Amino acid sequence: MKEEIKNACEVMNKGGVILYPTDTVWGIGCDATNEEAVKRVYEIKRRADSKAMLVLVDSPVKVDYYVQDVPSVAWDLIELTTKPLTIIYDGARNLAPNLLAEDGSVGIRVTNEAFSKELCFRFRKAIVSTSANISGEPSPAVFSEISEEIKSAVDYIVDFRREETGHPKPSSIIKLGKGGEVKIIRE
């Protein structure tokens, strides 16, 4: 696992795009602070860059770095959740501008899965995590369902957890608004 993390970090540090296992489905990832790398992910997915993508971090502490004013309820949600939870925050900062939604918000998930957590920790920056599919096509749940088109478009494919056959679900998504308003986007 350590060698795979080292290789993936080297590729992302050079502005490359990776295919990697996350705490939910397999993801296409890159340095979330690199505008050119983010642009490549949109191109690979054939997705309009007006549709924001989420990022993974390894620790709740990192959320503060990427969000101007984290609502206090976010800390409780992160601490108490028992399954992967993406929280959409207003006031994103320190991220590639083309990664954010038109309103300046960003979805961030604190991963607790061993590989993606260690990858985020070693990379020391937020990592884009978007499903490994062409926009509009079904999201592949396992590695064997990822299209050859996606596999050939990325710079590095992590050789870890490829044989898994379980069907993980995408994360729940909650948007936190001003004044502690909570809106459930996906359960």
Measured CA to CA, the distance from residue 119 to residue 117 in angstroms comes to 5
DSSP 39: H
**Per-residue model confidence as pLDDT tens digits over 112-171:** 999 999 999 999 999 999 999 999 998 888 899 999 999 999 999 999 888 887 777 788
Q: What is the pLDDT confidence band of residue 80, given thresholds at 50, 70 and 90?
A: very high
**Per-residue model confidence as pLDDT tens digits over 34-76:** 999 999 999 999 988 778 899 999 999 999 999 999 999 999 9
pTM, two decimal places: 0.93
Domain boundaries, the chain: 2-186
Kindly report which listed range (8-17, 84-93, 160-169) carries the lowest average pLDDT score.
160-169
Token readout for 93 is: 């900062």
pLDDT for residue 50: 72
What would the CATH number be for the domain defined by 2-186? 3.90.870.10
pLDDT for residue 71: 93
| Mean of pLDDT over the chain | 93
Amino acid (1-letter code) at residue 15: G
pLDDT at 21 > cutoff 80: yes
Q: What is the pLDDT confidence band of residue 31, given thresholds at 50, 70 and 90?
A: very high
Amino acid (1-letter code) at residue 183: K
Residues 114, 119, 120: CA angle, nearest 5 degrees: 105
